[in-house]
Structure 1
Amino acid sequence: MSTCERCGAAFHCAMADAPAGQKPTGAPGETPCWCTFLPPAIPVPGTEAVGCWCPACLRAHIATLETPPDVA
């Protein structure tokens, strides 16, 4: 199980929680993580990356990105 870097909830991440001795490669036929089905919203592994977020936190963050600003 992984721990959400935002709220601390436990959740399953297919990328981080791969079976022992097996790293996900992105090869055809591998099960992708649930997050790959959502719009890209935060940096992933790299210098500005954030840790994994649970489904609720990632969906809430995406909702704030998709909300148009108020027009005065």
Structure 2
Amino acid sequence: MSTCERCGVEFHCAMADAPAGQKPTGAPGETPCWCTFLPLAIPVPGADAVGCWCPACLRAHIASLEKPT
């Protein structure tokens, strides 16, 4: 399990939680991770990358980016 770096809740991150030697999966037997189906919103990976966020935090962040200013 992964821990959300924003709120601290535990969740499944296929990119981080795949067993050693196994390609990451979004669910048993499936790939890619659930987060790849959402709009790009935070830098991963790279120097400016944030850690994994749970589905609720990532969706809330995306919603805040989509609101008109």
Relative contact order (C-alpha < 8 Å, sep 6+): which is higher? 1
Q: Which has the higher helix share?
A: 2
How many residues in Structure 1 have an aligned counterpart in Structure 2? 65
Aligned-residue sequence identity (percent) comes to 88
Quote how far apart the aligned CAs of 1:22 are: 2.1
**Deviates further, 29-38 or 39-48:** 29-38
**Which position in structure 2 is the counterpart of 1:18?**
18
Runs of 4+ with >3 A deviation: none
Q: TM-score, normalised by structure 2?
A: 0.86
Q: Which runs of 5+ in 2 are unaligned?
A: none
Residues in 2 aligned to 1:50 and 1:11: alpha-carbon distance in whole angstroms: 16
Q: Which runs of 5+ in 1 are unaligned?
A: none
Structure of larger gyration radius: 1
Secondary structure of 2:14's aligned partner? coil
Q: TM-score, normalised by structure 1?
A: 0.83
